[in-house]
Amino acid sequence: MKESVTYQAILEEGRAEEAQRILLSLGTALFGKPSVKVRRALAGITDVELLESLLLRVIQVSSWTDLLTDLP
């Protein structure tokens, strides 16, 4: 079952959702409540590697705008 494509897709989706949740929590603590535009932008990111890089970047920037600048 762990080798199943569907199972792997579900796991990947769960990892992305958790990374989005953590990113929102950290960003809110650092920058304040995100705008609807920022929430939509984050919700649209499903690539786990990109989300992980944003989690590292969140401590290096000073705003939601800076965090989301230059996204692919």
| Backbone φ/ψ region at 70: left (φ over 0), alpha (ψ -120 to 50), beta | left
Tally the domains of the chain: 1
Q: What is the pLDDT of residue 47?
A: 95
Closest CA to 42 of 15, 60, 72, 68: 68
Q: What is the pLDDT of residue 72?
A: 72
pTM for this predicted structure: 0.86
Using the predicted structure, report yes or no on whether residue 1 has a pLDDT greater than 70.
no
Domain that holds residue 43: 5-68
